[in-house]
Structure 1
Amino acid sequence: MIALHTTISIVAIILLIIRFRIDPIIALVAGSLYLGLASGIGFAATLTAITTGFGEIMAKIGLLIGFGVLIGSLLHAVGAFRAMVEALVRLVPAKRLPYALAMALATIFPSIYVDVQVVLAAPVARSSSGLIGPRGLPLLAGALGTGIFCGYVFVVPGLAAVSIAGLLEVPLGTYLLYGIVIGPVTALLTVWLFGLLLRTGWWKADRDEEENEALLEAEEEEANGHLKPRWRPSLGVAVLPILVPLLMIAFGAFAGLAERSNAFIEFIGNPTFALFVGLLGAYAMARRSLRVGGTTAAFEKGLHTTGEILLVTGVGGSLGAVIEATGLAEVLGGLFSVNAAAPVLVSVLLAWFIAALLHLAIGSVSVAAITAAGIIAPILGSLGVAPVVIGLAIASGSLFALQVNSNFFWMFKALLGLSTSGSLKTLTVVTSIASLVSIPLVLTASLVA
């Protein structure tokens, strides 16, 4: 009965979000309440699980998410992201631009704000597409979508990556070591495969491209800017608030693997401290560029966004805590022990499937990843697979087939000047390819994790 009630709870959450357009926060809490009460753990224990689950995940990753979002907001305000993207056009040969764009989005600045990333990169992709040829726009659009979401789910400090690691109690340094390989490799392979697909006549410009007033307005807004920076950082300076924390986290992780760590190295490599250093750098950059008033405005915008992200992440932790309280771990642990011959394959594919199904239903990569991690976290101990591998499998599944039930889909469509069919042929296809390409890489990682 516990498995049945868990299934009903998850289906109900999906229906509330999709059919009745209920906010994911309300749907997740309602589903948690139903599961706790229906499974018989009691009124008090259900509320305790919801509140403690929320508090525990906030203690683990609340500051990380907050610092990351604030860094993104400040860098966006001073034009740092635009400097990074524009540098690609100047430095990279036209035929290599799709690969460079995908790599930069997946590694140099993995996304905290997917909306910001597409707003910044779309005008550059459109303006440089003519350098590549008739297939330039779809190829760059596919590269843009691939890079953004591979960074988002695989590479710290991508929001989904941080959330998955936190919910599954995977050290961020460990997640980074695997994700920084799987994310970029997935992005490059996906762009290459998508390029081959475009050569088959897949793209029909007359049906798949269209002019859009929102695109022109967004470009004008981006060109003019509301905050009017009086100084924009160079490329080398712009990447520092992101690159320095990544290097600090990686340094701490490698030192631990080499058994050369000590208290000071652990302090330097601590993800919270590393992202705080990045935040200090972004804040100093903003103060020089925007003065006090502009910096405060950018900071407040980041705080507003942070609240929304923290709530949905926290209630994802609440759902996981309720599932754990029901004793589902023991039930599923028994199921997995029946097929002990291939526990890694079964477990990885199960994690991928749950995340992919949730993404198809909900339309949000982050909510799908958070929900899947919340569902699987209580049974991690029974799977016999390294938690980082399960986390990467969830990341892989949450990429699958981003399509019309996603707000990002429609923003992508408008900013790149694509029709609905053109957006399906680019964004939906490349996220599906990336999801399928990455899962063998995750299985390979399981051999060494």
Structure 2
Amino acid sequence: MADWLILTITGVVILGIVVMIVKMRINPVVSLVIGAAVLGLATGMGAAGTTETVMQGFGDIMFEVGLLIAWGVLMGSILNEMGAIHRLVDGLLRIFGPRGVPYAFGLTLGTLLQSIFLDVLLVMSAPLARRMAPHLGKYGTAKMATAMAISLECGIVLMVPGVATLALAGLLSVPLGKMLIFGLIVIVPTIVISIAIMNFFIPRGLWKIEQDQESPDDGESEIAAMNTDPSQAEAKEGLVDGHGTRVGLLPHQVHQGVARQEKEPPLILLFTPMLLALALIASGAILEMVGLSSPPMDFLSSPVIALLISLLGTSYVGRFTIGRKRVESAVVDGFRESGQILILTGAGGSLAAVVAGSGMGDILGQYFSAGSFAPLLTVWAIAAVLHIAVGSVSISAITAAGLLAPVAPQIGLDPVLIALAAGAGSLFLVHVTSNTFWLLQSMLGQTTKGTLKSCSLGVSVASVVALCCTLVLGLFI
């Protein structure tokens, strides 16, 4: 089959997936599998070959990241139940003061807390960000909303153990320790620079308080009611378009008064298991890069074992701080949240496998070279366009990376750069099709116009900054 025809068919299939998701309202998982099947048949893989490739692609990505995603979501659910996030944010305000809080808050959400499912983390941290906003002055709401939007979206695609980051690493066969190190190298300057850029323009005409914020009484009373009255919290649960789940709102809110009456353990104790896991994974990657290894360290630093140790440690700490029953309840909620993530990731792996089997790698390899920025710019642009159309960071990142994955072995490009570029592109223009957009609007007291500035513009700035950081990184690896 001619190269131009394969490229055309692939483009039409990707467009068809977008139409199915956006216009026909077909579930993204179903749309991705349909697209993979059509692409395989149209490019001559045959019925049996297409079916086998779709199933193999799903199984391969689950083999790589299935347990990792499950461990991460479960650990985040237990941390949520223990109220660790509220205490952490209070500590940040005391330590860094008003000027430094947006940066400290953003870096914490974008790096340390990425084991927590995005919507859950947003719902947990938004009332705290809104409570801190008045301490930052006239534009406090704008600054905290921007920091939250940038850090939450960046973390999910650039930082281990963000669910999309795990999927990208598995899809491109990037060792998780390597993804952790290079993702950290990119995400830290991305968050800091992006917040600094936005904070520069916010007080210089970008943010209009009377147009971009709700009146102080509109959202404050709702947040206050959710933080003080459990029955009101339960009544509000369904108001966030179905995303105010029990994991996101109720456990910590309902038990908050009880937790504060008890003697609280040191905050560092709650996060020690997670920090241990990240240290083990990073240590293993560093030892591998310098050519040093030992069987015990190889075992402990393997991501699935390191995160399992972290999960067990978090559960153990939880039993002594909130009790066995609440830990078990958090685990049940975590399993409920992880199911949809796993299936979506697997469907993305199916499409990527069919794209690779269609010969796309050989075709694109003719036009790219490892010494050029063209592959990274291409994957960024594809992810950006997909995100604008579909509204899902995970889907756009996984799909774009799958399209360019075959290029890496052809031209000698390090796959971690493709993963980071795909993640960066998927951040571009978070808008009204995104759940995150509406959650940020409703929970931080912004108007739709204000959210277009803090979220859509802010995260788009981060998308470009992350691409620039990835391009610079590409000069050295």
| Band of TM-score, shorter chain | over 0.9
**2:432 counterpart of 1:369:** no
1:188-235 per-residue CA deviation (whole Å, 9 max, x = no partner) reads: 001110011112111111111112476455545359724566565432
SS in structure 2 at match of 1:199? helix
The structure-2 alpha-carbon separation of the partners of 1:399 and 1:111, relative to structure 1 and needing over 3 Å to count, comes to farther
Query: 1:315 is matched with which residue: 319, 325, 347?
Result: 347
1:105-162 deviation line (CA, Å, top 9, x unaligned):
1222235411122112211211111111111110111111112222222111111211
Cα drift, residue 283 of structure 1: 1.1
1:283 and 1:200 map into 2 onto residues whose CA distance is: 47
Q: How far apart, CA to CA, are the structure 2 residues paired with 1:130 and 1:399? A: 28
State the secondary structure of the residue aligned to 1:359.
helix
Q: How do residues 374-413 of structure 1 correspond to structure 2 at under 5 angstroms?
A: 374-413=402-441
Once the two structures are TM-superposed, the CA of residue 335 in structure 1 deviates from its matched residue by 2.9
Give 5+ residue unaligned stretches, structure 2.
234-248
**Residue in 2 that maps onto 1:348:** 376
SS in 2 for 1:177: helix
Are 1:80 and 2:112 matched, yes or no? no
Q: Which moved more, 1:196-205 or 1:162-171?
A: 196-205
- Taking the aligned partners of 1:419 and 1:372, their CA distance within structure 2 comes to 32
Please tell me whether residue 438 in structure 1 is matched to residue 455 in structure 2. Answer: no
- By how many angstroms is 1:55 displaced? 0.5
C-alpha RMSD of the superposition: 1.8
Of 32, 39, 44, the match for 2:36: 32
1:176 aligns with 2:204: no
Write the deviation string for residues 235-255 of structure 1: whole angstroms up to 9, x where unpaired.
211222321111111111111
Find the counterpart in structure 1 of residue 242 from structure 2.
none
1:163 matched to 2:167: yes
Matched residue type, 1:56: D
TM-score normalized by the length of structure 2:
0.89
Letter in 2 for 1:398: S
The 3 A distance-change label for structure 1 pair 27 and 219 is farther
Give, as a single letter, the amino acid of the residue that structure 2 aligns with 1:421: K
Does the aligned pair in 1 maintain the 2:73–2:337 contact within 8 Å? yes
CA shift, 1:293, in A, is 2.5
Q: 1:219 to 1:204 in 2, by over 3 A?
A: farther
Cα distance change of structure 1 residues 52 and 444 upon mapping to structure 2, 3 Å threshold: same
C-alpha distance in 2, partners of 1:65/1:351?
24
Which residue pairs with 2:332 in the alignment?
300
Where does residue 205 of structure 1 map in the other structure?
Answer: 209
1:339-397 Cα distance to aligned partner (Å, 9 max, x none):
x4x75310110111111111111111112112222222233212431111111111111
The answer as to whether partners of 1:57 and 1:314 remain within 8 angstroms in 2 is: yes
Q: Give the aligned partner of residue 138 of structure 1.
A: 142
Aligned pair in 2 of structure 1 residues 233, 396: CA closer, same or farther (>3 Å)?
A: farther
Pick from 44, 47, 58 the counterpart of residue 51 of structure 2. 47
Instruction: Give the conservation status (yes or no) of the 8 Å contact 1:344–1:384.
Output: no
Which residue is equivalent to 1:414? 442
Q: One-letter code of the match for 1:359?
A: H
> For residues 108 and 126 of structure 2, what CA distance do their matches in structure 1 show?
14
Q: One-letter code of the match for 1:139?
A: K
Which one-letter code corresponds to 2:458 in the other structure? V
The one of 188, 192, 203 aligned to 1:188: 192
State the partner residue of 2:121.
117
Read off the aligned partner of 1:397 and give its amino acid letter: G
Q: In 2, Cα distance between the equivalents of 1:218 and 1:377?
A: 45
Q: Identity, % of aligned pairs? A: 37
The Cα of 1:415 is off from its aligned counterpart by 0.7
Q: Which residue identity does 1:209 align to in structure 2?
A: Q
Match of 1:150 in 2: 154
CA contact (8 A) 1:248 1:268 kept: yes
How far apart are residue 4 of structure 1 and its match? 1.4
Q: 2:65: which partner in 1?
A: 61
Quick one: which of 297, 301, 304 aligns to 1:269?
301
Q: TM-score, normalised by structure 1?
A: 0.95
Q: CA deviation at 1:265?
A: 1.6
Unaligned runs of 5+ in 1: none
Provide the residue aligned with 2:94 in structure 1. 90
Aligned to 2:386: 358
Read off the aligned partner of 1:407 and give its amino acid letter: N
Aligned-residue offset at 1:95? 1.2
Equivalent position amino acid for 1:35 in 2 = L
Distance of 1:321 and 1:262 partners within structure 2: 33
Determine the structure 1 residue equivalent to 2:367. Answer: 335
